[in-house]
Amino acid sequence: MNSINKHLINDESLIDSFSKHARSYDRYAQLQKSMAERMASFLPDPLPDNILEIGCGTGLFTRHLLTQPIRQLILNDIAPGMLEILNNSISLPENTKIVSGNAERIDFENMDLVCANAVFQWFRKPQETLKKLNCALKNKGELIFSTFGPKTLLEFREAANLTSPIDLYTNDAWKKMIHDSGFVIKNFEIEIRKIFFPSTLTLLKNLQQIGAAPIRMVKTGGLRKLMRDYDSRFSTPQGVYATWELYYFTLTRGN
């Protein structure tokens, strides 16, 4: 299996990819939208005073936060292009602060609730980031996040003979990192989905339009072969399918 230099996925490449496709993101990010809806079901009611959303993107999850009054809201994303779309498409309350940058390198503090939908898979050092977020929370503060497990897009990696360009941890690995960072798991859910597309090309275009396309990992000459192999191995009368493994965590600070 071909090896991938995970260091190639740096801040600049993420900023460029997500900003470039910010305008098309909402149209194609149906899975992330569905994840946001499910994650919103774990929100406390009423919401606490000080809330931070990491990787807010164009606001798919932010909209759910804004269904309740919020005293102080901080919205963060690494891609300025995504934040621009959010700022222009959502009516944000006056008590909202937008912070651009890599959340792993920003020190937040005095938060009652931290949320992150489909973001943690991009973190280079999730264990350290969890520790930082634990320190950012007040006593009895909570962290709610969703992320992807290692079965995500397994068919694509098999057909392309590639390793994942990002680290996709098992739920047991996440649970250990969570425990070691001082959190207690209040709730955990796992979901396996198979999503169908008319063809492999449609699947790849969908990934590209949300800024997460792995096409650049495949040599130009191998792209057509990849699509043929994928179509032949993972095709059904309903189209080709791809698997997503989704994790949902609600954490509280340990005593």
Asked if residue 222 has pLDDT above 90, the reply is: no
pLDDT at position 6, please?
43
Q: Note whether residue 159 is domain-resident.
A: no
The SS3 of residue 3 is coil
Residue 126, preceding peptide bond in cis (omega within 30° of 0): no
Q: Give the side-chain half-sphere CA count within 13 A for 93.
A: 15
Cα-Cα-Cα-Cα torsion 7, 14, 175, 128, nearest 10 degrees, comes to 70
Helix, strand, coil shares of the chain as percentages rounded to 5?
A: 40, 25, 30
pLDDT at position 162, please?
67
Q: Note whether residue 72 is domain-resident.
A: yes
Quickly count: other Cβ atoms within 10 Å of residue 183's Cβ.
Answer: 24
- Please indicate whether residue 167 or residue 65 has the higher confidence score (pLDDT): 65
- Of the pLDDT bands very low, low, confident and very high (cuts 50, 70, 90), residue 172 is very high
- Please indicate whether residue 65 or residue 6 has the higher confidence score (pLDDT): 65
Q: Note whether residue 119 is domain-resident.
A: yes
Q: Note whether residue 94 is domain-resident.
A: yes
Least reliable range by pLDDT among 21-30, 70-79, 152-161: 21-30
pLDDT at position 7, please?
40
Q: Residue 140 corresponds to which tokens in the numbers above? A: 């009895």
Q: Note whether residue 229 is domain-resident.
A: no
pLDDT at position 12, please?
77
Q: Note whether residue 214 is domain-resident.
A: no
Q: Structural domain of residue 83, as residue ranges?
A: 6-147+167-192+246-253
Write the CATH number for 51.
Answer: 3.40.50.150
Our count of domains for the chain comes to 1
Q: Note whether residue 109 is domain-resident.
A: yes
186 with 238: CB under 8 angstroms? no
Helix and strand element counts for the chain (H, E)? 10, 8
Q: Note whether residue 1 is domain-resident.
A: no
